[in-house]
Structure 1
Amino acid sequence: MDGTDFSTDDDEAMREFLPTGFGRHDGGVNVEAQIERCRRPIVDERKQAAVKDKDSDDDDSDEDSEDEEDEFPVSHELLIKTHDRTVTSITLDPSGTRLVTGSTDCTLKLHDLSALTPTTIRAFKTVDPFVSKASAPTESHAVHQVLFSPHSGSQFLVITANPQARLFSRDGELISEFVKGDMYLRDKNNTKGHTAEITSAAWHPTNRERFVTAGTDSTVRIWDVNKRMKQEEVIVHKSRAAGSAGMTRMTSIAWGTSAEGNGSVVVSAALDGSLVMWSGEGPFHRPAGEIRDAHQRDTWTSGLDISADGRLVITRGGDDTIKLWDTRKFKTPVNTTSHASTSSQYPTSNIQFSPNSGSVITGSETGHLHILNPATLRPELITPVTPGSPLVTVNWHQKLNQIFTGSANGQTTILFNPKLSHNGALTILSKAPKKRHLDDDPSFTTDMDPLGMAGDPVNTSGPTPGSFAARHPTVGLTASGRSRDPRRPHIPAVTPFAKSTPDEKYVRENIELSSMRDEDPREALLKYQPKEGEKSVFTGAWEKTQPKTIYKEYDSDEDEPEAKRAKR
């Protein structure tokens, strides 16, 4: 065939049909496009309303809004939906690679931010704090607080709704469980641990071996991580409120550096409305400062934090107020502002200083993130995160410069700005979306369209009609870890006892006469009973020498002795 029969169009069509090379081709990933899909449509509702009322040029307003967006890391967001109930606490290790969240579903979720991809945003491990290394869980309690050690990312502290604090490794392995005190001892100074539920905890700002806990038994206890059988110090707070009999519940606690810079301070809030401060290095027999009516009595002060320089203390009370205090003049609040409280329903609602103490962040019952000016307590930015669902916990990580929030709908949100933030969510978005494997659980895998980012939230409550999970109900695993495929048998976990217990096959093949254990002893003896005319197998040697038994025979009852008749 002559080559002139092919036209230019045929050549181009052939090039499109045939591959240009062999082997696997990497299409690459458009990182900027993935990050842009995470951009939040609304950043600041308060200032957006002000811009509408303000008569100014469009160019000027656009420049102002861009400057405001770059001031805080809230221009983009990434969603993590792994809990079934309210996210009560969020913590990250100092490097910002390990994320641990606690919830009222009584579980901890461990996430490795450096290993996640845009389509596989899920926890690599789920931990029940009450599952020890040697036994099965006997009870479950809601998780109040999770705290990574600020000095090392190798361990984190877990506070649940019970009197015992627990220390875990960064991989979710239980290291130690601290002792519970004797609830029948009247003097709380003589108990070795908390006798009632622990509500809050904090690490020492400089000593990696120490942490403090506050409980509903009206005590604050200082612990050493290497001594789990008894606390180092006991501080009994005796309430002066009338009718409380000297006992009250400690609602929150914080441990920070002192304003002088040569020590530390412990500040705790109580249910009687008081705010108490102690020297972090002792003595602890009396507080360094106490404010009786810091907040309204019998309201739960859930939020408490100390600034980086140790001069300011911020509290969020159950009386719908946020107050700023000075540790050097610990008598009256420096400033007060009104803020609707969520502590009655969510007692772990917190408030936190930014890493440089230049801002204060907290959530609201409407699902908005509030960034306040610490000097005036006026909002600098109010942005919706989970509208309609209360925002419970917040965490502003220093190294990543990203804000992590937990809401009542079980959602964890990462707020960031590509110009200001580092790693974390940006590391996730810099990777190519991973294709879903056949054995992946669809409830933990997001589609490429929502991308687990901004926009409509991903529905992980169950398979939607027409989805991959609905068309293939036998693919993946159930929540309990069993296979959805009925043809695949469930392999039970091998316990240490089962490893040392021989099975029936081993006993039958290796132990002699083991089959006799299934026989009836009476039937086994009757097999050797001699028949008529046969010689006995076991007693035949004594048949000739055995004497004949002779019994006296009685013809009637009259011939029997009187003693036998009387016994009858």
Structure 2
Amino acid sequence: MTDDEDIVIEGPDLAEDDPMRAFLPASFGKKSAETNIAAQIDRTKRSATNRASSAGEDAVASGPSADRLKGQKKEDSEKSDGSSDDSDSDDDSDDDDEFPVSHELVLKTHERAVTTITLDPAGGRLASASVDGKINLHDFAAMTPTTLRAFRSVDPFESRKSSVQSESHPIHRIEFSPLSGSLFLCISSHPQAKIMSRDGDVVTEFVKGDMYLRDMNNTKGHISAISSGTWHPTDRNLCVTAGTDSTLRIWDINNKRRQKEVIVFKSRAPGSAGRTRMTCVAWGSPTQGGNNVLVAAALDGSLVMYSGNGPFSRPSAEIRDAHKPDTWTSGIDISSDGRMVVTRGGDDTIKLWDTRKFKTPLVTVQHQSTSAHYSMSNIKYAPNSTSILTGSATGDLHILNPGNLQPELVTPVTPGAPVITVDWHPKINQIVTGSANGETHVLYNPTMSSRGAVDVMSKAPKKRHIDDNPSLTMDQSIGISGDSIVTPGSMGGRRGGVTASGRSRDPRRPEVMQQTPFMRTQPDEKHVAENIPLAHMLHEDPREALLKYADAAKKDPMFTQAWKDTQPVTQYAELSDDEEEGPDKKRVRR
């Protein structure tokens, strides 16, 4: 072959539509696989949604606003004459554009029911709590489509547990501070509330009150379990807790030894002796400015409202029969303008109240309650109070109209498992739900939502082995595979040696026995004999040591000399051998 000749490379002679072309390389060199983000997000698209048109007919409302609504619906139906059938598809598309529910991200990190969820103000960290007393912390920035798990799971009462397995306290509510986001409030079925950092460390634990005091004004803390709590809307150092000891207590997180204010609620229900359980509490502040509002509900059916800035000596308004007595009112929330209050009671009703005329509900709607099994079921206003969110016992998410409480959208989340807690974050525009089957669902829309679940599904999946389950094959404390063979002591750095408590830093090395002060010095026998009194008696026989002083004690009774002259002489009856007294000769003395 000469230089003038052209080099011709023969390629496969295949047709353009031949399927074999998909298996042949198109270029040389190493190829980088690119992730199809659009297809990855499309896989999280929800398959079916229920519209409010099918669920709204079953809802029963009462009140003046509901009557106007029924008349308006009747007029609209007479004017439409069948034109509504043509606009059904348009209404469905409008619902998809209005609410971020087109896609969902499922986090299965709890084994039992998820009772409460919260997001920090930036929307980057999600915390969820369960009946088993565990709090799972999720970071959206660290998760990928293949690593949807919590980066930390904490137990607020782990420090109190001994080596014997103890009972965990179900967590009723956790809530990030709405101003800073560096702390969150933890409420469990325990008299002491906790303030925890965003990383799950306990920062403050409020004091427990004296249960033997009758007057609750004199106790420094709750004496029984706390049912709910929330933060002050404008002061980052204040929070309020509602307890089953018939009190609301306002705390300063910088002073854990005593509450700042105590509000004792006196029940008027017959047979209650002036006490009842406070079931939930809400603290709201108008966005345009104005006085704060503190609203709480009780087990006797009462709904009480206080001025959020005090004084708290007496309520500004009180409704005795807001809900049916002896039913657990689990949810309460205040609108962004501070004028409307919505409550979800254990009597299968949702009621809307006006704080300016706090006497009778504006609207009452029938809604099946889940508070009989889960007393943490909540109801929340959407951002800017444009909608109201709540769950149902059938596993559906209900988005209600804030004026008449009629469902605008009913969509299934966990069919068959009740939706216990809901939240709508205003910054990332995503809805988070927690269900009884242990799942946390993040509903979003790629075009409407930002960050959060959108960032998670926009990342390339992390490459891992098909059998690489970190909870089973990875040692999280040292970050190596559990199948690795490690020689004890060969791991350098901080993993060698022991901690201050005597625990080995290498989990594969047995713990070192703790040394007492006596073991550190190890004194010899000579030192013990010279410095420790009566140390020579350690190896003596105690019987021989006592008999050694027997003769001396008989001659000179040092300890029994007090009754030497007064001790009576023991006298025995003299009997001969022939006069032995048998059992037949004894006389019974009466």
- Tell me, yes or no, if the aligned pair for 1:73 and 1:402 is still in contact at 8 Å: yes
1:144-199 alpha-carbon deviations (Å, 9 max, x no partner): 10000000111101001100000111111110110000000000000000001000
- The Cα shift of 1:351 comes to 0.2
Equivalent position SS for 1:356? helix
Identity of aligned residues (%): 55
Classify 1:183/1:79 alpha carbon distance in 2 versus 1 (closer, same or farther; 3 Å). Answer: same
Matches within 5 A, 1:107-118: 107-118=134-145
Classify 1:332/1:511 alpha carbon distance in 2 versus 1 (closer, same or farther; 3 Å). Answer: closer
Classify 1:488/1:335 alpha carbon distance in 2 versus 1 (closer, same or farther; 3 Å). Answer: farther
Whichever residue aligns with residue 12 of structure 2, its letter is D
2:132 maps to: 105
- Tell me, yes or no, if the aligned pair for 2:286 and 2:336 is still in contact at 8 Å: no
1:335-365 alpha-carbon deviations (Å, 9 max, x no partner): 1100000001000000000011010000000
- Tell me, yes or no, if the aligned pair for 1:130 and 1:139 is still in contact at 8 Å: no
Matches within 5 A, 1:366-445: 366-437=394-465, 440-441=468-469
- Select between 252-261 and 91-100 the one with higher mean Cα deviation: 252-261
1:498 maps to: 502
Matches within 5 A, 1:320-399: 320-399=348-427
- The Cα shift of 1:280 comes to 1.1
2:28 maps to: 20
> In structure 1, which of residues 30, 44, 47 is the aligned counterpart of residue 36 of structure 2?
30
> In structure 2, which of residues 260, 270, 274 is the aligned counterpart of residue 242 of structure 1?
270
Pairing 1:95–2:95 present: no
Classify 1:116/1:499 alpha carbon distance in 2 versus 1 (closer, same or farther; 3 Å). Answer: closer
Classify 1:112/1:190 alpha carbon distance in 2 versus 1 (closer, same or farther; 3 Å). Answer: same
- The Cα shift of 1:282 comes to 1.0
2:569 maps to: none
Equivalent position SS for 2:46? coil
Query: What are structure 2's unaligned runs of at least 5 residues?
Result: 15-19, 57-80, 489-494, 505-510, 528-534, 540-590
Pairing 1:170–2:198 present: yes
Classify 1:183/1:57 alpha carbon distance in 2 versus 1 (closer, same or farther; 3 Å). Answer: closer
Classify 1:173/1:494 alpha carbon distance in 2 versus 1 (closer, same or farther; 3 Å). Answer: farther
Classify 1:17/1:337 alpha carbon distance in 2 versus 1 (closer, same or farther; 3 Å). Answer: closer
Classify 1:503/1:272 alpha carbon distance in 2 versus 1 (closer, same or farther; 3 Å). Answer: closer
Classify 1:134/1:85 alpha carbon distance in 2 versus 1 (closer, same or farther; 3 Å). Answer: closer
1:121-141 alpha-carbon deviations (Å, 9 max, x no partner): 000000001134998896520
Classify 1:61/1:230 alpha carbon distance in 2 versus 1 (closer, same or farther; 3 Å). Answer: same
Distance (whole Å) between structure 1 residues aligned to residue 466 and residue 316 of structure 2: 62
- The Cα shift of 1:62 comes to 3.5
Equivalent position SS for 1:325? strand
Classify 1:503/1:331 alpha carbon distance in 2 versus 1 (closer, same or farther; 3 Å). Answer: closer
Classify 1:278/1:133 alpha carbon distance in 2 versus 1 (closer, same or farther; 3 Å). Answer: same
Equivalent position SS for 1:156? strand
Matches within 5 A, 1:77-88: 77-88=104-115
Q: Count matched residues.
A: 488
Pairing 1:41–2:68 present: no
Pairing 1:304–2:332 present: yes
2:546 maps to: none
- The Cα shift of 1:234 comes to 0.5
2:10 maps to: 7
- Tell me, yes or no, if the aligned pair for 2:177 and 2:236 is still in contact at 8 Å: yes
Whichever residue aligns with residue 269 of structure 1, its letter is A
- The Cα shift of 1:67 comes to 1.7
Equivalent position SS for 2:158? coil
> In structure 1, which of residues 174, 190, 202 is the aligned counterpart of residue 218 of structure 2?
190
Distance (whole Å) between structure 2 residues aligned to residue 119 and residue 411 of structure 1: 16
Distance (whole Å) between structure 1 residues aligned to residue 330 and residue 259 of structure 2: 24
Distance (whole Å) between structure 1 residues aligned to residue 124 and residue 41 of structure 2: 19
Classify 1:439/1:177 alpha carbon distance in 2 versus 1 (closer, same or farther; 3 Å). Answer: farther
Query: What are structure 1's unaligned runs of at least 5 residues?
Result: 445-473, 526-568
Classify 1:18/1:257 alpha carbon distance in 2 versus 1 (closer, same or farther; 3 Å). Answer: closer
Distance (whole Å) between structure 1 residues aligned to residue 430 and residue 257 of structure 2: 38
Classify 1:152/1:368 alpha carbon distance in 2 versus 1 (closer, same or farther; 3 Å). Answer: same
Distance (whole Å) between structure 1 residues aligned to residue 453 and residue 473 of structure 2: 29
- Tell me, yes or no, if the aligned pair for 1:312 and 1:327 is still in contact at 8 Å: yes
Distance (whole Å) between structure 2 residues aligned to residue 224 and residue 504 of structure 1: 40
Distance (whole Å) between structure 2 residues aligned to residue 58 and residue 4 of structure 1: 70
- Tell me, yes or no, if the aligned pair for 2:432 and 2:443 is still in contact at 8 Å: yes
TM-score when normalising by structure 2:
0.74
Whichever residue aligns with residue 149 of structure 2, its letter is R
- Tell me, yes or no, if the aligned pair for 2:120 and 2:126 is still in contact at 8 Å: yes
